[in-house]
């Protein structure tokens, strides 16, 4: 069962961006038309053209039952790739071989007609997605139950709430049974509850041995659903292979913030900051930290002349700038309030694992004296890092689409049944 079910051979796709020439007149156009009557329709007018390569020599293959995730920035060529694989548009060069029935979900509810009822739209949408009428009839009850719209079946969908609409649309799509399923970010629909249901359904489909191609910006769902991954950038495959690996590389590249902060020696200051970085036990690491690893922040500083009653502190804030906590080096070591002699110091602080929600964080480091008047030697935005969901966060473990809050600790819940009776 390790046959190649999809084989993409060096496909490229170019679009022509046309800049119209400003001196083109109706008369020119008419004479031109008279010379070559069908030119206008073939689109070969005399305008300046520029080629834009949406995909360039993309090559990969997918095995039977494999679930391939495709990641990349907006405009990286992901959608173009899916469109080519779905036969909506054609490559400029190269070819693709597909074995078996392909269904693509580039959007939920394609072809829904607002005037038609829910029942009618199930048949219409199903047919558009490539289901046979007999197949739809067989799965009809299942679809309706999944969408939770029983009592609105005979209402035109234009009177549906947007939630109902999306639920119905996804329900139809979820009951497709092709050999190859191509999905573009359609999971980001509906309320949290329904998203969870969708993700669950997707997993069922995946476990059913179907081959899936899945584009998403949600690294969590790629990680959870896919067993291999490719990263596209500017139309090219930058990395391919194990999802965790590719996602790490992608995030690492994506993040603009520094993973290491360094500063020169400043002899005029009593104290100065030299270096801030992340540690992994012993070695310095990049800016990515697994959810289930401790975050070790190392701060190196110099004391140029002996100081008394000083402190080193940092604040941790979220990627969007909200301060989460502030911590100082003397919190657990009051002896540090005393004098510190000249020298090069290194201090490390541990933010325990399985606490910070997956996301981006910034570290602001400060060095102050607590004497009156207090003196600030350094106060610098130093490094950023990302906590990466490798599937071990509560959110990922239970397939939730989102969980609010900066912290995601496993709290100790204890649940007992107190009595058989309820209060009614």
Partner 1 sequence: MAYQEVTTIKPKKGWVGVNVKELWRYRELFFIFVWRDIKIRYKQTAIGVLWAILQPFLLMVVFSIFFGSFAKMPSNGVPYPIFVFSGLLFWNYFSVSLTNASDSLVSNENILKKIYFPRLILPLSPTMTPLVDFAIAFIVLIGMLFYYHFTPTLIGIVILPLLLFTSFLSASGLGMFLAAINVRYRDIRYALPFFIQSLLFVTPVIYPTSIVSSQYQWILKLNPMTGIIEAARAGIVGGKQIDFTLLAISGIIAAAIFLFGIFYFRKTERIFADVA
Binding site for partner 1 (CB under 8 A): 1, 3, 15, 40-41, 43, 64, 83-102, 104, 106-107, 110-111, 113, 115-116, 120, 123-124, 127-130, 132-133, 179
Instruction: Please say which residue, 94 or 359, places its beta carbon nearer to partner 1.
Output: 94
DSSP 196: H
> Minimum distance from CB of 95 to partner 1 (Å)?
4
Instruction: Please say which residue, 5 or 363, places its beta carbon nearer to partner 1.
Output: 5
Give the whole-angstrom CA distance, residue 95 versus residue 356: 45
Tokens of 217: 């910006």
> Minimum distance from CB of 194 to partner 1 (Å)?
21
Instruction: Please say which residue, 81 or 164, places its beta carbon nearer to partner 1.
Output: 81
Neighbour count for residue 335 (Cβ, 10 Å): 6
**Closest to 232 (Cα-Cα) out of 220, 218, 216:** 216
Give the whole-angstrom CA distance, residue 180 versus residue 6: 9
Coil vs helix vs strand at 118: helix
> Minimum distance from CB of 124 to partner 1 (Å)?
6
CA geometry: angle 208, 214, 216, nearest 5 deg = 135
Instruction: Please say which residue, 132 or 342, places its beta carbon nearer to partner 1.
Output: 132
Tokens of 96: 């693709």
Render 142-169 in DSSP notation, one character per residue. HHHHHHT-GGGTTSBGGGS-HHHHHHHH
Instruction: Please say which residue, 160 or 250, places its beta carbon nearer to partner 1.
Output: 160
**Closest to 236 (Cα-Cα) out of 55, 66, 13, 406:** 55
Instruction: Please say which residue, 80 or 317, places its beta carbon nearer to partner 1.
Output: 80
> Minimum distance from CB of 6 to partner 1 (Å)?
10
Give the whole-angstrom CA distance, residue 256 versus residue 375: 32
Backbone Cα Rg of the chain: 29
Instruction: Please say which residue, 7 or 258, places its beta carbon nearer to partner 1.
Output: 7
> Minimum distance from CB of 48 to partner 1 (Å)?
18
Tell me if 362 sits within 8 A of 257, measured CB to CB.
Answer: yes
> Minimum distance from CB of 103 to partner 1 (Å)?
9
Instruction: Please say which residue, 189 or 396, places its beta carbon nearer to partner 1.
Output: 189
- What's phi and psi for 364, nearest 5 deg? -105, 125
> Minimum distance from CB of 106 to partner 1 (Å)?
5
> Minimum distance from CB of 3 to partner 1 (Å)?
8
Coil vs helix vs strand at 184: strand
């Amino acid at each position: 069962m390790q046959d190649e079910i999809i084989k993409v051979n060096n496909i490229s796709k170019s679009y022509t961006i046309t800049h119209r020439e400003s001196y083109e007149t109706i008369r020119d156009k008419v004479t031109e038309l008279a010379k070559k009557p069908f030119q206008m329709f073939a689109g070969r007018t005399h305008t300046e053209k520029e080629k834009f390569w949406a995909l360039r020599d993309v090559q990969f293959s997918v095995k039977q039952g494999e679930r391939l995730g495709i990641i990349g920035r907006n405009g990286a060529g992901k959608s173009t790739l899916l469109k080519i694989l779905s036969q909506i548009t054609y490559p400029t060069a190269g070819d693709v071989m597909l074995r078996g029935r392909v269904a693509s979900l580039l959007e939920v509810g394609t072809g829904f007609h607002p005037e038609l009822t829910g029942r009618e739209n199930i048949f219409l949408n199903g047919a558009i997605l490539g289901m046979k009428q007999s197949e739809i009839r067989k799965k009809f009850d299942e679809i309706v139950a999944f969408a939770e719209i029983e009592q609105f079946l005979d209402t035109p969908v234009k009177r549906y709430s947007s939630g109902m609409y999306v639920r119905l649309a996804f329900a139809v799509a979820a009951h497709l049974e092709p050999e190859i399923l191509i999905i573009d970010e359609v999971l980001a629909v509906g309320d949290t509850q329904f998203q969870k249901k969708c993700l669950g359904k997707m997993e069922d489909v995946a476990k059913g041995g179907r081959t899936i191609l899945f584009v998403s910006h949600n690294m969590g769902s790629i990680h959870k659903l896919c067993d291999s991954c490719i990263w596209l950038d500017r139309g090219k495959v930058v990395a391919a292979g194990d999802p965790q690996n590719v996602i790490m590389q992608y995030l690492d590249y994506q993040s603009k913030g520094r993973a290491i902060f360094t500063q020169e020696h400043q002899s005029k200051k009593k104290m100065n900051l030299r270096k801030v970085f992340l540690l992994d036990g012993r070695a310095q690491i990049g800016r990515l930290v697994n959810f289930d690893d401790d975050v070790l922040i190392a701060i190196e500083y110099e004391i140029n002349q002996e100081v008394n009653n000083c402190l080193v502190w940092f604040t941790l804030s979220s990627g969007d700038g909200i301060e989460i906590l502030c911590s100082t080096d003397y919190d657990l070591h009051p002896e540090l309030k005393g004098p510190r002699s000249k020298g090069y110091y290194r201090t490390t602080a541990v933010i325990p694992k399985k606490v910070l929600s997956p996301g981006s964080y910034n570290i602001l480091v400060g060095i102050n004296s607590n004497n009156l008047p207090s003196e600030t030697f350094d106060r610098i935005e130093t490094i950023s890092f990302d906590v990466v969901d490798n599937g071990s966060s509560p959110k990922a473990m239970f397939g939730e689409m989102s969980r609010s809050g900066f912290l995601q600790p496993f709290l100790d819940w204890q649940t007992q049944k107190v009595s058989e009776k309820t209060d009614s």
